[in-house]
Structure 1
Amino acid sequence: MRKNFKLFYRILTVLFLIICQSVQIFATEIYPTKDITVIVPFNAGGGIDVSARTLLTELEDYFPEISFVVQNITGAAGTIGAEELFNADPDGYTIMAAGNGFNVSSITGLFSRSVEDYEMIAQYTTSQLGLYVRADSPFQTYEDLIEFARQNPSTLKMGTLTATMNQFAILAIEEKEDVNFKQIVVGGDQPPQPELLSGRVDAYVVAVSQNTTYIDSGDFRCLGVFASERVPSLPEVPTFMELGIEEDYQLTFGLWAPPTTPIELTSVISKAIKSVVEDPNFKNTMTGMGYYAQHIDGP
């Protein structure tokens, strides 16, 4: 009797494991079956927004039965959108496109959560930060700007975005050059470019990808890029490493899911991202906009 019971127990255990595995495989095979909401925690037209929409357009070719619906949930340096994702159902139908900037918010104490509180699906691109002025600015070079800042402490109006990599980059310039800018908050819920165009700020540090069209139109001039090598779209612009600042304040953009989202779901999206990112046409498109496409799997 005892032998029969043990045999029966073992059979039930094996059947249970088979059923669990079958459920996971079935869930993966049918996911996704409906539209996926993609939270972008910054304004439309910003670096994260543009890169995400470019990626999502390509991803829809891999999932022709559904759409990726972008929702710009802005405010508080991206933390409002990040909190929205944290509280979303972990069913794979609400995800977020965000950069390493929202982890900066955690480090500075602006946000109580960190990247460890979310499930990373995959990284899909990076973008360098650049220092920009208007084309009619008297500052023709980085050295011109620094010389003015030294002669006129706390006078040069530098656009910044609180608790972001952009602000860290500005602080690095101040420390290296022993200068003080008059920092003015730009961007956030609105595009930062009008602030520079209008003259409300004399310069700002933003992602290269956000200013490509303004460079092409002749409205802006880039004085330096935070990168280890010169950016292909700005071959004449020196890197800050050349200018004496070794830190590389690179922005990384990826897709994230709510905590406890099953890896069986996130891996489906990650594999599709990998296929998109490896496509030469996509790489060329991203490079032309000032991004560098690369895939790093979340799990």
Structure 2
Amino acid sequence: MITRPRIAAAFAAATLIALTGCGANTGSSTNAAADDFPKKGKSIELIVAFGSGGAVDTASRLVAPILEEELGTNVEVVNKPGAGGQIGYTALASAKPDGYTIGATGSPSVVVSPLDPARGATYTRDSFQPLGRHVVDPAVIAVQPDSPYQTLKELIEAAKANPKSMTASTTGLQTGEHFALAQIQEATGAEFAPVHFAEGDAAAAAAFLGKHVNVLVGDVSGVTDLIKQGKARVLGVMSSERAPSLPDIPTFKESGYEVEASTARGFSAPAGLPDAVAEKLEAAIKTAIEDPTVVKKMEELGLQTSYLSGADYEQYWAGQEAAYKKVMPLVQKKD
């Protein structure tokens, strides 16, 4: 005779087996779907949060063909500029985490926009899954070729004597250039009047060339062509060592100012990618970043490849977030 306790035990065991089987099948189907990534004929969208023609856009278009070769599908670069990168980052963070949407991410912009409540960002650092760092691009300060300021010290002293008398470009509120200006002010007492061009460095450079701003605050990559064409004169580089592509330009430290500022750029996806998808994307991005042809072209733009894996890039972001929190008051919008 089968007792009630035995019936209950048998039912529980059967239920457990069924649930375990369902769990295994679900996991297998998830892994199978990830292993099938990317599906034949399905494109991957690479979001650039700034306008075309700038350093972020150019770097993304250099790696895209290699990604296509590695992943076996089309990689479409899509520009979504505005709000200092926030529009593009919002689109990236809100996309489905299936690997078919990735984006170029640059800090400090992607790191700091969620830190200021006034920005109304709908994402945080944890909304992104870093896939690999590409480069670190030191900040520079430049003037017109016919500017009366021949040295960085002359420019700094003039800005100290007449605060906010000279306009200086940035690529948007709380972007790398904006933070660089804040760091200059904190270290030297020189206060420039920032003019924000949220579409990116191409728009900022155009304004400088049109003499709508007095000073160009940009990155090494953004000024390399301007220097070659004789359209800008760089007075200082904000890095610990001289930039290889600008060997004759002194660092801020050489001029007596303890200022270091740079923009780190890489690639990320919306958080929550399946492991197999993340591994495929990370491997393809590493190959693309370290491709000799890409490295050479990046060097021609004044950029030195500085690859970090997805995990290391994530730790790098965390360190930046802690550092930028300390100087946020200097770059927050004043009412």
Q: Is TM-score (shorter-chain normalized) higher than 0.5? A: yes
Look up the equivalent residue of 1:142 and give its one-letter code. Answer: L
Determine the structure 2 residue equivalent to 1:284.
296
Determine the structure 2 residue equivalent to 1:23.
29
Deviates more, 1:212-221 or 1:177-186: 177-186
Determine the structure 1 residue equivalent to 2:327.
none
Q: 1:243 to 1:9 in 2, by over 3 A?
A: farther
Matched, 1:175 2:177: no
Q: Name the structure with the higher helix share.
A: 2
Report the Cα offset of residue 214 of structure 1: 1.0
Report the Cα offset of residue 111 of structure 1: 4.3
Determine the structure 2 residue equivalent to 1:261.
273
Matched, 1:117 2:127: yes
Matched, 1:44 2:55: no
Determine the structure 2 residue equivalent to 1:136.
146
Q: 1:187 to 1:223 in 2, by over 3 A?
A: farther
Residue 308 of structure 2 aligns to a residue whose secondary structure is strand
Query: Which residue, 99, 104, 109 being the options, matches 2:112?
Result: 104
Q: Which runs of 5 or more structure 1 residues have no equivalent in the other structure?
A: none
Q: 1:186 to 1:21 in 2, by over 3 A?
A: closer
Determine the structure 2 residue equivalent to 1:235.
247
Q: 1:276 to 1:39 in 2, by over 3 A?
A: closer
Determine the structure 1 residue equivalent to 2:102.
95
C-alpha distance in structure 2 between counterparts of 1:119 and 1:10, whole Å: 35
Q: 1:237 to 1:197 in 2, by over 3 A?
A: same
> Does structure 1 retain, via aligned residues, the 8 Å contact 2:188–2:257?
no
Report the Cα offset of residue 79 of structure 1: 0.9
Residue 145 of structure 1 aligns to a residue whose secondary structure is helix
> Does structure 2 retain, via aligned residues, the 8 Å contact 1:28–1:268?
no
Deviates more, 1:147-156 or 1:230-239: 147-156
> Does structure 1 retain, via aligned residues, the 8 Å contact 2:141–2:237?
yes
Determine the structure 2 residue equivalent to 1:212.
224
Query: Which residue, 91, 105, 108 being the options, matches 1:84?
Result: 91
C-alpha distance in structure 2 between counterparts of 1:251 and 1:225, whole Å: 13
Deviates more, 1:255-264 or 1:219-228: 255-264
C-alpha distance in structure 2 between counterparts of 1:201 and 1:165, whole Å: 17
> Does structure 1 retain, via aligned residues, the 8 Å contact 2:163–2:190?
yes
> Does structure 1 retain, via aligned residues, the 8 Å contact 2:64–2:77?
no
Determine the structure 1 residue equivalent to 2:323.
none
Query: Which residue, 260, 279, 284 being the options, matches 1:248?
Result: 260
Report the Cα offset of residue 195 of structure 1: 1.0
Look up the equivalent residue of 1:106 and give its one-letter code. Answer: P
Question: What do residues 189-243 of structure 1 show as CA deviations (whole Å, max 9, x unaligned)?
Answer: 6621111111111112112112221111111111111112111100011122323
TM-score scaled by length of structure 2 = 0.80
Q: 1:111 to 1:216 in 2, by over 3 A?
A: farther
Report the Cα offset of residue 142 of structure 1: 0.7
Residue 304 of structure 2 aligns to a residue whose secondary structure is strand
C-alpha distance in structure 2 between counterparts of 1:277 and 1:96, whole Å: 14
The structure with more radius of gyration: 2
CA RMSD of aligned residues (A): 2.4
Matched, 1:198 2:206: no
Determine the structure 1 residue equivalent to 2:195.
184
Percentage identity across paired residues of the two chains: 31
Q: Which runs of 5 or more structure 2 residues have no equivalent in the other structure?
A: 1-5, 312-335
> Does structure 2 retain, via aligned residues, the 8 Å contact 1:79–1:111?
no
Q: 1:73 to 1:15 in 2, by over 3 A?
A: same
Look up the equivalent residue of 1:232 and give its one-letter code. Answer: P
Determine the structure 1 residue equivalent to 2:65.
57
Q: 1:205 to 1:96 in 2, by over 3 A?
A: same
Residue 147 of structure 2 aligns to a residue whose secondary structure is coil
C-alpha distance in structure 1 between counterparts of 2:195 and 2:287, whole Å: 41
Look up the equivalent residue of 2:203 and give its one-letter code. Answer: P
Report the Cα offset of residue 7 of structure 1: 8.1
Look up the equivalent residue of 2:158 and give its one-letter code. Answer: F
Deviates more, 1:278-287 or 1:202-211: 278-287
Report the Cα offset of residue 269 of structure 1: 0.9
C-alpha distance in structure 2 between counterparts of 1:143 and 1:294, whole Å: 30
Look up the equivalent residue of 2:37 and give its one-letter code. Answer: Y
Look up the equivalent residue of 1:117 and give its one-letter code. Answer: S
C-alpha distance in structure 2 between counterparts of 1:138 and 1:70, whole Å: 41
Determine the structure 1 residue equivalent to 2:177.
166
C-alpha distance in structure 1 between counterparts of 2:115 and 2:252, whole Å: 24
